[in-house]
Structures are given as C-alpha cells and as structure tokens.
Chain A
Amino acid sequence: MSINLKRFNRINRKKIFNKLERVDKGAVPAIPKRPPLLHPQYDIESLTDIFLSKFSASAASFQSIDSLTLVPELVLQYAEQHASDMNVVTNISEVLQKNEPSLLWPEPLTLHHGPANGEQSIGLSYADVGIAETGSIVLISSKKNPTSVNFLPDHHIVILNELDIVPNIEMMWKKLSLVAGSMPRAINIITGPSRTADIEQTIQLGAHGPRSLHILLLMEPA
C-alpha cells in the first residue's frame, strides 16, 4: 500500500480541524489564556527530608555521601552485593574526575562508555534534578546521560546533589527551562525501580527496567 503521506495528512488535518473550530469561536481570543494553577507548597528548609521520605516509599535505596571521591568505592560495594558482574556503563566519569581529579576506579569494576547495550549490570548516572514532592530523580538525555543507561542495566545508581532538589514537579520544569526547538530528546522522571502488577495485581520489581534504583545523595558536610 502506497500513500502520499503529505497529501493524506493535509486532507485529514483539514477534516479534523474543520470539526474542531468551535461555533462560538468569536468570543475566544486568538491566544487563549490558561487559567492560573495552584501547586502544592513545601517547606524549602526540609526538602531533603521530604524527598527521602517520598523516595523510600518507592522501594528505592540511598546512601548519603559528602564527597564524590566516595562514588567508585560505593559503586563497587553495590556491585559486589547486588550485581551479577562488574560491568558499569557510565558517561559521567569525566565529570567526576573533573571535580575530583584524585578519583580512581577500583580494579574489579570495568567501565563502559556510550549507550548501554544490555551487557552491563550497572548503570551510573548523575541526576539533573530531584523532586521532593514525589521523591523522584530527573535525568535528561545528553552525551552525559544516554537514556539507555537508565533502563537497560539491572541496577541503576544515580548521584543526586541535595542542592538540586526542588519542591514540586512544576519547579522542576522551571529549573530545566525548556523551549521548543531546543528540547532534549528524552526527560525521564524516575521514581523507584521498574515494577509491574500485571499478574494478579502483585507488585514485582524489575519488569523491564532496572531491578533496583540506588541513590547516592551528595550532601554538603554539616
């Protein structure tokens, strides 16, 4: 079957829009003004606490760290405890190295760069934002965060800087200041590991995405 997609589209588009133009359109301004919306408010002082309480409800785990130098060691520990091999896919080692030139990756871990391909048990990412309201981390697709790293490995370890936690979902969008035409391809708001309840309403973790989500929360030393 061969159709002229362009022509086809033009015709259908017209058909649909003809029906959508409302009869009483006269009263509506050309650029409609969306009514203002309320957002849930949270105490700025306790964002980390709110984040952690929501976050733990999602069956994810966390450790707090006060320096990025700890990351390689903690990834190794996590791998030894949970993962079936020592392959880590990450594209943030340079970022880490830049902040902490002394940073060294311990021997048994093998680091892979680029997108994940299903052969690494651990993905390591750096979250762009955290959302207190929902206990979510947000990852934006880029050279440093290919989306496949968030979904293909069995375990996902994500670094989140406490200072990047915003109160609610709206503040997250605001912080990212997104504009059509220069959008990142994918933005993932992640809240806990992959799960399904499709068989007898019983929750099982690790449906298709990571079986576990572990957050390394970078907190300023008190």
Chain B
Amino acid sequence: MDEVAPNASQDLERTSPHVALFVTCLVNQFRPSAAFASIKLLEQAGCKVSVPKAQTCCGQPGYNNGLEKEAIKTAKSVIKLLEDHDYVVVPSGSCTGMITKHYPKLFSDDKVWHKKATKLANKTWELCQFLVEKRKAEIIPHIALSGQKVTYHDSCSCKRELKNTEAPRQLIQKSCKGASLVELKDTETCCGFGGTFSTKFSDISARLVSDKASDIKDSHANVIVSADLGCLINIAGITARQHIDSLGYTHAYEVRHIAEILADNRDAPSMSYNTTSIITTD
C-alpha cells in the first residue's frame, strides 16, 4: 500500500511483524472460535499476534444509520487503539472496509486525523487477503474436510469494497486437502443481511437469504464458509430452518467462518446447529 515506506515494509516482511487482531464485535460475541482460528493462522504465518484488550466495534452501525458524528468519535478511539501496530488484521471484510475505505472519508475535513486514518487504513487487512497478498503465507494443509464440498460465500464488502475474491478461494484449496470447492450459481448477489437492514426490512432480507439458500442447495455444498459473520448469521439461520430434523437439530450444512476451516479449528458447533431456540411461525 502506498504510504508505507518500502524499506519499512521489507523489514516487516523479514522479521515477524506485530499484528493486532481486531476481532470485531460480532466475532467477539458470537464466534470466538473464528478469532482463535485467526490467531492460529496468523501465528503460522510468522506473525506476533496481540489482541488489544480495549477493542470494541468499528462503529459501522452508527455510521450506516446516520450517526456520522458518533462514527467520527468512535473512529478516533479505534485509530488511537490500533495505530501503533505494524498491521491490523480483521476477520471480517465489512469491518476492514469500514477502517480502510470509510475512516479516511470521515475525516475529509480534518487534516490531522485524515492522515492518521489513512495511515491506519494502509496497514489494515482482511485476514485472507493479508495471508495471501501481504504475507504470501504457506498455509498448513489438513485433511479434516476430505471428501466434503465447500462453498465460499462472497460478502459484498469483501467482493466490492476490498476486491477480495481470490485469496479466500486459494486458501481453501491449499488448506482443505481432499475437499472440493464448489461455486454458487450467483456469487454476485447480496445475501440480504446488510446489518441493520435485516432489522428494518426483515421480510425483504429473509426473501433474499432464502434465494441464497436455494442456490446453496443447488450447489450440493455441505460446508458453507464466508469471511463475514453478518452473512454467516443470516445464512445459518435460513439453512437451519430449511433442514431441521425431528429433534429440532439440523445436520445438513456446516456453516462456519472461513478461518475455522483454514485452521482446522472446528470444535465449535456449526453456526446452523444451534437451533434450540428456533421459533416456528405460523
């Protein structure tokens, strides 16, 4: 990225860089195993990983819902928290995009903070993209998913904001030996989550994700991964509902964060297994 001096970046590549893991509010709350998997992958890639304790949320919920001033304040506190690390890695395309694309925009009228925001933006990476494009990491293969069909769902932020579609697929192919990577019929269309959109227009969102679910069914994949927890919560919810057995459990799909399958860190149940509290509607 432009603003990192070439010497400095070469140095970082030779030694093991200090990477701050920004886990994101959703992973922290709902998918600790994805965060542990991310740490494992980063350490395998030779990074010294730290987890800043004071991290919270990138502020996107406010930013996308009209609270621009609040978002500016939150961005400042995130910048302060993370600016001293060599890299910041985020297991989410959406939060990465917030930091790399939107933070600088928030400070378009504030030179000092714009510079700080740009500096942070330039060293912040989405996990898969960091491993492949920045670290050129050799990933450790495993055979745990041998014989399975894996599909990768492109989150809109990864796909459009970060132009990050190749890295996750490469990683899956390298790490999951014996598994086949299958593509959905339509990898362009949004799953319908859209953060608060799913609460404001639940019915439209539900229709969109059920279209996605029928694509998933047609793909014959049984493992569904993505780099964004929002999409995963959405997809897990619908796939669970469509494949519930008599006990209220579903076994049709394994829905996980991509880091979990890359690191073979699959102790946590599939996101779609947790259906104990599904309410059926009439």
Query: Do A and B share a direct contact in the complex (Cβ within 8 angstroms)?
Result: no
Give B residues with C-beta under 8 Å from A: none
Q: Which A residues contact B (CB, under 8 angstroms)? A: none
